[in-house]
Amino acid sequence: MMSQKEMKKYHEKTIAELSTMLQAGEVTSVELTQYFLNRIKAHDGRLNSFITVTEELALAAAKDADAAIKNGTAGPLTGVPIAHKDIFCTQGVRTSCGSKMLDNFISPYDATVVTKMKQAGVVMLGKTNMDEFAMGSSNETSFYGAVKNPWNTDTVPGGSSGGSAAAVAARLAPAATGTDTGGSIRQPASMCGITGIKPTYGRVSRYGMIAFASSLDQAGPMGQSAHDCALLLNAMAGFDEKDSTCLDMEVPDYTAELDKPLKGLRIGLPKEYFGEGLNVDVEKVIRAALDEYKKLGAELVDIELPNSGLSVPVYYVVAPAECSANLSRFDGVRYGYRCENPVDLMDLYTRSRGEGFGAEVKRRIMVGTYALSSGYYDAYYLKSQQLRHKISDDFKNAFEKVDVIMGPTAPDTAFNIGEKSDDPISMYLSDIYTIAVNLAGLPGMSVPAGFVNGKPVGLQIAGNYFKESQLLNVAHQYQLHTDWHRAIPEAFV
């Protein structure tokens, strides 16, 4: 066994490294799980990245994992502790979606992602904080308070998967699950200096993942490295008959092509991603990352995505419209928050929803209901869906010339908590480079590429449909030649 001094290094290890140690008997899952539970106790008071910590369940699962390792039935993820975003239903555990509306909701079943992770032998440390019902870009709309960025606790971690991103960045968990509706895996991954991937729409089951915008939501892994994300995606992806939008396709081994050389790779650079609105220092970091890819044998190709400027207005009609429909089920009758002493049915509905939802959720429900209302449906929702096809066609045309598309994940680094709370438009624009990928249903990821004034910067890599293996390969090769993904905030070393 390792000495106490060496044990303190577990949080510096990737999932791939921890898996090797577990299989070799250098550490047990119980020891590893307790180690990370101790880090959560010691550090999360400064971050607020967890809503629920499931210590007893975690240690019981770790004990089972150790038994599987001992009897030779373990897989590559057996015994590895991770955290789940609190949007995934977890049987017998509170699933709040960051909202007062579901503060008292104990899920009677597991989401498919949670089930698949359990089958892979993963240990759940707890449930991470998030923007309420995944609506936000800063993790400030949570009923449980804002999450703080471990690189600078005065700043936001990004959203809506900010709790997962902050927990991984501070090494309170080796990895975590997230969801991405308009950039909610990639944007917080960028602001917290970790790696995150949003798979092709339909590649990962949405069953048991509380819906925000059903045609956009997609689950994905968040970890230190592309290798870690590949291991996690191997477990998460696959057909699920419980989800009608889940695609019945064979799941490749996402680790199989990680070591493929990049010589001849054609990287598209959209001119729209390098213009007005992009922080000049962020652009320098991205350009330096692109230079690294040139050294690895890749070719940089200038491209255009002419309709990308329409992504934000299109998204903020489509997503609220779908959220308006999805959140109509929270009425105070069947589950979730219920107002006290309602005088009649209308009072029950009105006060339960009015008291249970936060301001941003109410704003989006109102916008969506308006867009779907009689007389406005054709002018707003239908027109947005037509423009959505044009945005998708731009990507289709681009991928006839290039293999992947790169650019900044976000136009700036993490902003201060409260800085944009009263300016929804400015907040929405922080997702300007990520939203188009969701509207088109494409895979995309963010990898750490450097720092500006001590704050992380993420490089976004987008690919064609079902090209997750290629994205992970492209990211992995970059990470073999850089160490940005290894950086840990000084306060959490």
Question: Would you name the residues annotated as active-site residues?
Answer: 85, 160, 184
Tokens of 437: 């990928």
| Amino acid in the structure at residue 189 | A
Tokens of 218: 């997609």
What is the rounded distance in angstroms from the CA atom of residue 181 to the CA atom of residue 176?
Answer: 17
Cis peptide before 184 (omega within 30 of 0): no
Q: Which of 160, 199, 167, 224 is nearest to 479 (CA)?
A: 224
Q: Which of 226, 128, 156, 170 is nearest to 468 (CA)?
A: 226
What is the rounded distance in angstroms from the CA atom of residue 347 to the CA atom of residue 183?
Answer: 36
Burial 465-477 (b: 16+ CB within 10 A, else e): bbbbbbbbbbbbb
What is the rounded distance in angstroms from the CA atom of residue 139 to the CA atom of residue 420?
Answer: 12
Longest dimension (CA), the chain: 70
CB 409 within 8 A of CB 433: yes
Q: Which of 431, 311, 424 is nearest to 364 (CA)?
A: 424
In which residue are the tokens 């890819």 written? Answer: 293
Q: Half-sphere exposure (CA, 13 Å, Cβ side) for 393?
A: 8
Tokens of 444: 């995309």
Q: Half-sphere exposure (CA, 13 Å, Cβ side) for 338?
A: 12
CB 262 within 8 A of CB 208: no
Element holding 465 (H helix, E strand): none
